[in-house]
Amino acid sequence: MDVLKVGVIGCGAIGREHIKRLHNKLQGSRVVAVMDVFPESAQRGADLVGSDCKIYDNIEGIVNDSDVDALVVTTPGFAHKEPIMAAIKAGKPVFSEKPLATTAADCKEIVDAEMAGGKKLVQVGFMRRYDKGYRQVKELLDGGTFGKPLLAKCTHRAISVDPSYTTDMAVTDTAIHEIDCMHWLLDDDWTQVQVIMGADTKHAHEGLKDPQIMIFKSKKGYTVILEVYVNSNFGYDINCEVVCEEGVINLPAPAYPTVRKNQMISTPIEQDWMNRFIDSYDVELQEWIDDTKKGEVNGPSAWDGYIAAVTADGLVASQTSGVMEDVSVGET
């Protein structure tokens, strides 16, 4: 196959970003069809491609189009399961943005359907595994010279979120990145998790608990403390510090010049995920295109999506209970 012909389901913020990179930026793929529940959103997606892009208003149509080799799902998390299941049923490779689905039960159905089909088809958009900085941290940890990791402190801050963002989404939409990434970085599984609510910021909309502190205990005994603060009002601020027996490793911050002006020394801060992780999305999708053309799935799998969702279920339970919740994944 020379060119992978892709159908994109969900033409919102990241859907349009992925359409542009799949069609114009990366090697070996073209977007041939788009689908969205809102016709005007689908049209916006198609306009990025050109007049020969097909527009669908239903999942069955785009998934079963014989011109579509593979699917990219960029609907909101609650609407991932239906297109992923349809792609599996059609035997087509599917890349889904994170989370795989919003509950462990839904993720398990996807894992089971994929296994029943006898072929790996699903990849999840845990793009931090492709980030240069996180890869550098992993290389140092795996190199062994820092000794055993003891604990890690992470922040996941955004400027603001819209009113459709609910308290549980601090876990299923936002912390899901650290749930997967820290599990991958530390090469360990979570056994217990807890959420402690911070004092509410006045910048959060009515009913949203923000910020939240999340605590993860791992099988090997590591502790991760994560601050999720999605109405920080100042920027998109992703940090990770791993404290080890022989030293401390910090995730490199994006490189910006430090300027001296008006009696101040200052450095810009990212405004959103789009730029902060732009290279990671490119690497992630280029590898997905190349693997898919070879009939392989080598990125984060449906199983990775499932174990992240089991952990997320524990955190969501703890948002209400306030206590440590057990996380149990079961057998592979």
Which residue ranges make up the site for ligand ISE (CB under 6 A)? Answer: 158, 173-174, 177, 273
- Residue 206 tokens read as 């009515």
Query: How far apart are the C-alpha atoms of 224 and 35, rounded to whole Å?
Result: 39
13 binds ligand NAD (CB under 6 A): yes
Stretch that binds ligand NAD, among 10-18, 25-33, 211-219, 246-254 (CB under 6 A): 10-18
Find the binding residues for ligand NAD in span 102-131 (CB under 6 A): 125, 127
Nearer to ligand NAD, 21 or 98 (CB): 98
Would you say the C-alpha torsion 307, 313, 314, 316 has a positive or negative sign? positive
Q: How far is the CB of 255 from ligand ISE (least distance, A)?
A: 20
Q: Using CB distances below 5 to 8 A depending on partner kind, what does residue 10 bind out of ligand ISE, ligand NAD, none? A: ligand NAD
79 binds ligand NAD (CB under 6 A): yes
97 binds ligand NAD (CB under 6 A): yes
Cβ-closest residue to ligand ISE?
174
The three-point CA angle 122-50-16 to 5° equals 45
Q: How far is the CB of 22 from ligand NAD (least distance, A)?
A: 14
Contacts of 92 (CB under 8 A, 6+ apart): 63, 68, 69, 70, 71, 121
Nearer to ligand NAD, 173 or 210 (CB): 173
Please state the separation of Cα 29 from the chain's center in Å.
22
Q: How far is the CB of 299 from ligand NAD (least distance, A)?
A: 12
Residue that is written with structure tokens 């088809």 in the block = 121
Contacts of 66 (CB under 8 A, 6+ apart): none
Nearer to ligand NAD, 97 or 304 (CB): 97
Strands 212-218 and 190-197: what pairing? antiparallel
**Amino acid, single-letter form, for residue 328:** S
Q: Using CB distances below 5 to 8 A depending on partner kind, what does residue 158 bind out of ligand ISE, ligand NAD, none? A: ligand ISE
Nearer to ligand NAD, 14 or 140 (CB): 14
Of 29, 74, 212, 286, the one binding ligand NAD (CB under 6 A) is 74
Nearer to ligand ISE, 53 or 158 (CB): 158
Nearer to ligand NAD, 96 or 191 (CB): 96
**Amino acid, single-letter form, for residue 44:** R
Nearer to ligand ISE, 172 or 192 (CB): 172
Query: How far apart are the C-alpha atoms of 326 and 102, rounded to whole Å?
Result: 18
Q: How far is the CB of 288 from ligand ISE (least distance, A)?
A: 17
- Residue 97 tokens read as 């943005």
Q: How far is the CB of 278 from ligand ISE (least distance, A)?
A: 11
Q: How far is the CB of 258 from ligand NAD (least distance, A)?
A: 27
Where do contacts with ligand NAD occur on this chain (CB under 6 A)? 9-15, 35-38, 41, 74-77, 79, 97-98, 125, 127, 173, 273, 277
